[in-house]
Amino acid sequence: MEFFKIVGSGNDFIVIDNRKNLLKNRKKLSIKLCDRKFGIGADGLLLLENSKKADFKMRIFNPDGSEAEMCGNGLRCILRFINESSISKKKKLKIETKAGILDGEIKGENIKVRIKIIEKPELDITIPVNNQNIVGNYINTGVPHTIIFVDNVDKVNLSKLGPQIRHNKIFGKSGTNVDWVEIIKTGLIKIRTYERGVEGETLSCGTGVVASAIITSLKHRMPSPIKVITKSKEILKVYFNDNLENVYLEGKTLYTFKGTWIEK
């Protein structure tokens, strides 16, 4: 089985062309392939499939086998895959996801994609953690994110606080991704993200980058565009209009290698 490895600002994905629908047990496959010791290793598995509503469909599976509704960096990577593999010559494509149909534009290594805000953001919510209250801000950018502002993101004990907030009962059964945000200056923020499904910190999270930029704008009246420094040190750019109907994520992608997975 042929696979491709593509990276979006440190978020690495295994990409497989499944337009012939040959892969059936996607959950089991994702767990096996994403394992960094006994598999290929990745933050997620992306499957390119046929769509009746758009140019193509993207399905995203986490290392724990769960299927994600959306992934901003994953969407950028699958567009790079479509272009590099000459599956389509179009530079502007519409991709079906579980979070709706999203459009993207291919500019070589640089990929720009639209992100939809699914629900009205909730600001200044109280999150009870270890007999203290943490103030967060909730937004759904295809998947749920909770944004917490801090003076220094590098000092956050993410491995301890991440799971406690991610599984907090106020977010229900599905939980939330968690992003800590440090404002550097107007137009520039820095973030760290704890991701559901990965159950740990990732070098980048596209929907988290967008979520953090939008909440920063709402809370601190920061105008578009906003540049976001990710854990990988790569900078992504978020564009948006006042009513948040047109929100875009833009940044570079890295096409690292392709190979053959030997079925076991």
Domain co-membership, 179 together with 62: no
**Catalytic pick among 205, 211, 214, 238:** 205
Residue 17: which CATH number? Answer: 3.10.310.10
**Is 205 in the active site?**
yes
Supply the pLDDT for residue 186: 97
Q: Are residues 31 and 148 in the same domain?
A: no
> In which domain, by residue range, is 84 found?
2-114+252-260
Q: What's the domain count of the chain?
A: 2
The per-residue pLDDT for range 3-22, each reduced to its tens digit, is 999 999 999 999 999 999 98
Same structural domain, 13 and 101: yes
Q: What is the pLDDT of residues 176-185, one digit of tens each?
A: 999 999 999 9
Kindly state whether residues 79 and 160 are assigned to the same domain: no
Same-domain pairing of 227 and 246: yes
For the segment 219-235, what is each residue's pLDDT rounded down to a tens digit?
999 999 999 999 999 99
Q: Are residues 147 and 87 in the same domain?
A: no
Which residues contact residue 7 at a Cβ distance below 8 angstroms, ignoring those fewer than 6 apart?
13, 77, 253, 254, 256
Residues 38 and 93 in one domain: yes
Report, in angstroms and rounded to the nearest whole number, the Rg of the chain calculated over CA atoms: 18
Residues 212 and 182 in one domain: yes
On whether both 164 and 176 belong to a single domain, the answer is yes
pLDDT of residue 75: 97
pLDDT bracket for residue 55 (50, 70, 90): very high
Torsion of CA 205, 208, 210, 214, to 10 degrees: -160
Q: What angle is formed at CA 37 by the lines to CA 207 and CA 16, rounded to 5 degrees?
A: 50
Q: Give the pLDDT confidence of 67-101 residue by residue, as tens digits.
A: 999 999 999 999 999 999 999 999 999 999 999 99
Whole-Å CA distances, 120 to 6, 123, 244, 249: 32, 10, 10, 19
The pairing of strands 177-185 and 144-149 is parallel
Statement to judge: residues 130 and 218 lie in one domain: yes
pLDDT of 264 > 80? The answer is no
- Amino acid identity of 71? C
Contacts of 222 (CB under 8 A, 6+ apart): 183, 186, 187, 216
Annotated catalytic residue, options 15, 45, 58, 71: 71
